[in-house]
Amino acid sequence: MTIHYDEERRIFHVQAKGTSYVMAVSSEGTLLHLYWGQEIQDAGALLGLLQIHRGSPTGPVQPPNADVGTWPHEFPAFGMGDHRSPAYVVQRFDGSIASCLTYVGHRIVPGKPKLPGLPATYVESDEEAETLEIELLDPVLRLRVILRYTAFAQHSAIARSATFINNSDESFQLQRALSASIDMAGADYAFLQLSGAWIRERFVELRQLVPGEQSVYSRSGMSGHKHNPFIALVAPRADEEHGDVYGFSLVYSGNFLAKAEVEPMRQSVRVQIGIHPDDFSWLLEPGASFQSPEAVLVYSDRGIGEMSRTYHRLYRTRLARGRYRDEPRPVLVNNWEATYFNFDADKLVEIAKAGSELGVELFVLDDGWFGKRDSDNCSLGDWYPDPRKLPGGLADVAKRVEACGMQFGIWMEPEMVSPDSDLYRQHPDWCLHVAERPRSERRNQLTLDLSRPDVCDFIVEAVSNVLHSAPIRYVKWDMNRPMTEVGSATLPPERQRETAHRYMLGLYDVLERITTAFPDVLFESCASGGGRFDPGMLYYMPQTWTSDNTDAVSRLKIQYGTSIVYPASSMGAHVSAVPNHQMHRLTPLSFRGHVAMSGNFGYELDLSRFTAEERELAKQQVAAYKSIRSLVQFGDFYRLLSPFEGNETAWMFVSAQQDEAYMAYFRVFPDPLQPVRRLRLRGLRESTYYRIEETGEVYLGELLMRVGMNMPLMDGDYQSVTMRLRKV
Ligand code: DGJ
Q: What would the pLDDT profile of 577-620 be if each residue is shown by its tens digit?
A: 999 999 999 999 999 999 999 999 999 999 999 999 999 999 99
**Mean pLDDT estimate for the chain:** 96
Which of 343, 367, 603 should be mutated for ligand 1, with most atoms under 8 A from CB?
Answer: 367
Percent of the chain with pLDDT over 70: 98
* Residue 53, pLDDT above cutoff 50: no
**CB-CB contact of 263 with 73 (8 Å):** no
Q: Are 580 and 587 in contact (CB under 8 A)?
A: yes
Residue 673 pLDDT > 90: no
Centre of ligand 1 to C-alpha 367, Å, is: 7
Contact between 191 and 206 under an 8 Å Cβ cutoff? The reply is yes
- Pocket (CB within 6 angstroms of ligand 1): 336, 366-367, 411, 478, 480, 526, 528-529, 545, 548
Of 67-81, 120-134, 212-226, 694-708, give the lowest mean pLDDT range. 67-81
> What pLDDT digit, counting tens, does each position of 134-180 carry?
999 999 999 999 999 999 999 999 999 999 999 999 999 999 999 99
Confidence of residue 69 (pLDDT cuts 50, 70, 90): confident
Report how far ligand 1's centroid is from the alpha carbon of 413 (Å).
Answer: 9
DSSP per position, 119-184: -----SSGGGEEEEEEEEEETTTTEEEEEEEEEESSSSEEEEEEEEEE-SSS-EEEEEEEEEEEEE
Please state the φ and ψ torsions of residue 441, each to the nearest 5 degrees.
-95, 145
User: What's the pLDDT score for residue 47?
Assistant: 82
CA-to-CA distance for 333 and 355, rounded, in angstroms? 7
Three-class SS of residue 388?
coil
Residues making up the annotated binding site are 198, 366-367, 443, 476-480, 526, 548
pLDDT bin (cut points 50, 70, 90) of residue 1 is confident
> What is the tens place of the pLDDT at every residue in 465-492?
999 999 999 999 999 999 999 999 999 9
User: Of 574, 723, 662, 631, which Cα lies nearest the Cα of 328?
Assistant: 631
Residue 48: pLDDT over 80: no
**Ligand 1 atom 9: residue of nearest CA:** 528
What's the pLDDT score for residue 10?
94
Q: Which of 422, 600, 587, 631 is nearest to 526 (CA)?
A: 600
What is the pLDDT confidence band of residue 96, given thresholds at 50, 70 and 90? very high
Tell me the binding residues for substrate. Answer: 198, 366-367, 443, 476-480, 526, 548
Cα-based distances in Å from 221 to 87, 180, 296, 502: 21, 20, 21, 11
Q: Give the closest residue (by CA) to ligand 1 atom 2.
A: 528
- Residue 535, pLDDT above cutoff 60: yes
Query: SS3 breakdown of the chain: % helix, strand, coil, rounded to 5?
Result: 25, 35, 40
> Nearest-CA neighbor of 76 among 270, 350, 305, 276?
270
Mean pLDDT within 293-307: 98
**For the chain, how far is it from start to end, CA to CA, in angstroms?**
36
pLDDT reading at 622 higher than 80: yes
Quick one: pLDDT at residue 381? Answer: 98
Question: Average pLDDT in the 624-633 region?
Answer: 98
Asked whether 569 and 316 are in contact (CB, 8 A), the reply is: yes
| pTM of the entire predicted model | 0.97
Q: Which residues are catalytic?
A: 478, 548
